Amino acid sequence: MNASSSNDSNSRPSAISVENVDFCYGKSRALKGISLEVTRNEIVAFIGPSGCGKSTLLRCFNRMNDLVPGARVTQGTIHIEGVEIHSPEVDPVELRRRVGMVFQKSNPFPRSIYENVAYGPRLAGTSEKGALDSIVEKALRGAALWDEVKDRLGESAFGLSGGQQQRLCIARTIAVKPEIVLMDEPCSALDPVATAKVEELILELKREFTIVIVTHNMQQATRISDRTAFFYLGELVEFDETGRIFSNPRRQETEDYVTGRFG
Ligand SMILES: Nc1ncnc2c1ncn2[C@@H]1O[C@H](COP(=O)(O)OP(=O)(O)OP(=O)(O)O)[C@@H](O)[C@H]1O
């Protein structure tokens, strides 16, 4: 089942283009005939009941699923900025730099705050201290964390609160200048205050990045996303402007889910 989206962003360039994708874990089909486009600088939310394939699709976008034995796209194409990501010239490591990921549980390295952010740029070849300092500051400012940590950059990242650690992980992701940021339930381990900060940050990041976020929090999808995709049993049921999905969806299944009748 394919869901089309009525959206004035159709005229903007496509960041992610998915066409008729099936995905299997071994013999089990987790995604069925998925087609969707994400345009540059928009925030798209993926919603749907547990196990419907949201995270699987998200992890397809930077080929994170390659790391799972037996897991593969069995049909269809995924283009990122116009390039099919499974074509031989695509280096998965470079793809993962361009398509960064923030996970449900913040996962800083057991290093200092500074080192957590400097690690990626250093790996990418930046070694000069002044250049690294400036990348670290810019990324921490971009993640709305600079003022809280600027006097303790050498301290362990584990000394930060959960919300600060998640923003540090966002800083680490944006420090390598991705084009797309994928977020898999980035606020599910945070309290409402930390969640509000991360949501504010996500809205800021939209100026520079294209963002796809998996969330179980309907209010969160309404607050931050431009468009919302509703998945059910491995299929994309409906994809439309967020306002429409939550106030006047076209499909009965979507209405039942967003009104809490199932899921
Ligand atoms: N590593 C894996 N190996 C085998 N099956 C998997 C694996 N990861 C996910 N699956 C299966 O694929 C289907 C889709 O899972 P996925 O995690 O993508 O769903 P989801 O919508 O993100 O769920 P949730 O909201 O609970 O995170 C489920 O049936 C799940 O059991």
The tens digit of pLDDT for each residue in 239-248 reads 999 999 999 9
Residue 87: domain span: 8-107+177-258
Instruction: Report the C-alpha gap between 144 and 38 in whole angstroms.
Output: 25
Report DSSP state, residue 136.
H
The answer to whether residue 2 sits within a structural domain is no
The answer to whether residue 182 sits within a structural domain is yes
Contact 104, 185 (CB under 8 A): yes
| Secondary structure class of 188 (helix, strand, coil) | coil
| Secondary structure class of 118 (helix, strand, coil) | helix
Which amino acid, residue 57? L
Asked if residue 35 has pLDDT above 50, the reply is yes
The answer to whether residue 66 sits within a structural domain is yes
Residue 43 belongs to a domain with what CATH number?
3.40.50.300
For residue 235, the tally of other CB atoms under 10 A from its CB is 18
Interval between CA 55 and ligand 1 midpoint (Å) = 7
Interval between CA 25 and ligand 1 midpoint (Å) = 9
The answer to whether residue 224 sits within a structural domain is yes
The tens digit of pLDDT for each residue in 134-147 reads 999 999 999 889 99
- Angle between helices 162-174 and 129-142 in degrees, nearest 10: 120
User: Which ipTM score applies to this complex?
Assistant: 0.97
Interval between CA 192 and ligand 1 midpoint (Å) = 26
- 3-state SS record for 62-106: CCHHHHCCCEEEEEEEEEECCEECCCCCCCHHHHHHHEEEECCCC
What is the predicted pLDDT for the residue at 189? 84
Query: What atom of ligand 1 comes closest to residue 48's alpha carbon?
Result: 21
Contact 181, 189 (CB under 8 A): no
Calculate mean pLDDT across residues 75-91.
Answer: 96
Ligand 1 neighbours (beta carbon < 6 A): 25, 30, 48, 50-56, 68
| Continuous segment of H or E residues that includes residue 20 | strand 14-25
Q: Hey, what are 42's tokens? A: 């928009």
Interval between CA 51 and ligand 1 midpoint (Å) = 5
The answer to whether residue 163 sits within a structural domain is no
| Secondary structure class of 245 (helix, strand, coil) | helix
Report DSSP state, residue 206.
T
The tens digit of pLDDT for each residue in 110-122 reads 999 999 999 999 9
Reading across the β-sheet that carries 28-39, which strands appear in turn?
Answer: 28-39, 14-25, 71-80, 83-84
Interval between CA 60 and ligand 1 midpoint (Å) = 12
Dihedral over alpha carbons 155, 114, 194, 220 (to 10 degrees): -160
Question: Of 179, 175, 215, which is closest to residue 195 (Cα–Cα)?
Answer: 215
The label of the residue with tokens 């250049």 reads 131
Query: What atom of ligand 1 comes closest to residue 214's alpha carbon?
Result: 22
Mean pLDDT over all residues of the chain? 93
| Continuous segment of H or E residues that includes residue 153 | none
Asked if residue 9 has pLDDT above 70, the reply is no
Query: What atom of ligand 1 comes closest to residue 234's alpha carbon?
Result: 14
Contact 119, 157 (CB under 8 A): no
Count of domains for the chain: 1
The answer to whether residue 229 sits within a structural domain is yes
The answer to whether residue 154 sits within a structural domain is no
The answer to whether residue 103 sits within a structural domain is yes
